[in-house]
Amino acid sequence: MSSVKVGVVGVGYLGQHHARIYSEIPDTTLVGVVDINQERAREIAQRYSTTPYYDYRELFGKIDAVSIVVPTVLHRLIAGHFIEEGVNILIEKPVTTTLEEARELMEMANKKKVILQVGHIERFNTAVMELSKIIDRPVFIDCYRMGPYTNRNTDVGVVLDLMIHDIDIVTSIVKSKVMKISAFGYPVFSRQEDIANAQILFENGCIANLTASRITRKKIRRMEITEVDAFISIDYLEQELAVYKKTITAVPPILMEKPMMQKGEPLRFELEHFTRCVKNGERPLVGLEEGKNALEVALKILEEIKKNQGLVNEKYL
C-alpha cells in the first residue's frame, strides 16, 4: 500500500485534530470528513483541503482506514458497518458501551481481517512509552486525573471519560488479573458521576488507587508508581518521568534519574502508529482486546459506584 486513504467520522473537539494530523502525515490522504452538522463538516473539510460528507456511508469504497470520533453509544453501529466494508478502524475510547458490543466487533474484525485500534491516547505519551522500558514490579500505583468541567463527553461519566485512560495503563503495566475493586463516585454537574475514586487489588498483590474528577479548576494528569526498590513519577501534561532508586552509598538512599525524551503530540504518534499498522498489516499497540479489558474494569468500577451510591446518599444528604 503506497498511500493510506483515510476518513474521519465526527469532527467535533477531538475529531478535528484527527483530520488535521491525517492531512499532515506523509503517504496518507485525507479523503473526507463526516459530520451530521453540515456546516461543521464543510468548515473542517475546507480547513484541511478535503471533501465534506454528512453520512458516513458515503465513505464506503473510498478509504482504507477511518477514525470514528463520535459518542460512545454509536461506536458499535458505525464500526460494524465499516468492518463489513473491510475498512480498518481507529475507534475512540471507550471502545463500546458494553462488553457484548466489544466482543461482537472483535468477532467481526477477526472475520474480515481488518485492524481495529482503540484510541487510548496516553499509551503514546512519551513519558508512558519510556515507562514501558523501565517498569519492573509495581507494588502500589497512585493515579490523579482531574480537570475543569466541560460540555464534552457528557454521554458518559468521569470513569469512562477520564479514568479509563489510567485503567488501561495500570492494567498494561501490572500484568495481573483483578482480584477486588472498591469504588465511590458522585454526580455534581451532570447526571453521571463527575468525581470518582477506585481502589483495585490485583492477584499479584499490587494495589492501584485511581482518582478522576472533571470538576476541579486545575488540570492534573499524574501517576506515581512504587516498586520494591524504586519510585517512579509521571507528569502526563509535561511528558516528564522521574525515577528515584535505592543506592547503598547515598544518604538518604535515593538517586533521581530523569530520562531524556523527545516530546511530541501523543495524538500524532497514535495516528502515525495506526496508519503504519494499516500500511504494513501490523498489530496495533492498543487493539480491541486491550480496549475491551479496560472497558471491563471500568464497568466493574461503575457497578461498585452504583452499589455504594446509596451509602453516600444516606450519609451526606
pLDDT tens-digit profile of 242-285? 999 877 776 666 778 888 888 999 999 999 999 999 999 999 99
> What b/e readout covers 126-150, taking b as 16+ CB neighbours within 10 angstroms?
bbbbbbeeebeebeebbbbbbbebe
What would the grid cell of residue 186 be? 458522585
Distance CA(195)–CA(158), nearest Å, equals: 6
DSSP per-residue string spanning 6-53: EEEE--STTHHHHHHHHTTSTTEEEEEEE-SSHHHHHHHHHHTT-EEE
pLDDT of residue 225: 97
The residues spanned by each domain of the chain are: 4-120+267-286, 123-262+298-311
pLDDT of residue 317: 44
Amino acid identity for residue 188 in this structure: V
Show the low-confidence residues of the chain (pLDDT under 50).
313-317
- For 4-120+267-286, CATH number out of 3.10.20.600, 3.90.1150.10, 3.40.605.10, 3.40.50.720 equals 3.40.50.720
- Asked if residue 67 lies in contact with residue 34, where contact means CB atoms within 8 angstroms, the answer is no
Q: Do domains 4-120+267-286 and 123-262+298-311 have the same CATH topology?
A: no
Residue 113, Ramachandran bin (φ over 0: left; ψ between -120 and 50: alpha; else beta): left
pLDDT per residue as tens digits for the range 201-216: 999 999 999 999 999 9
Q: Quick one: pLDDT at residue 202?
A: 98
Identify the pLDDT of residue 50. Answer: 98
Q: Where does 123-262+298-311 sit in CATH, by number?
A: 3.30.360.10
Question: 0.95 exceeded by the pTM?
Answer: no
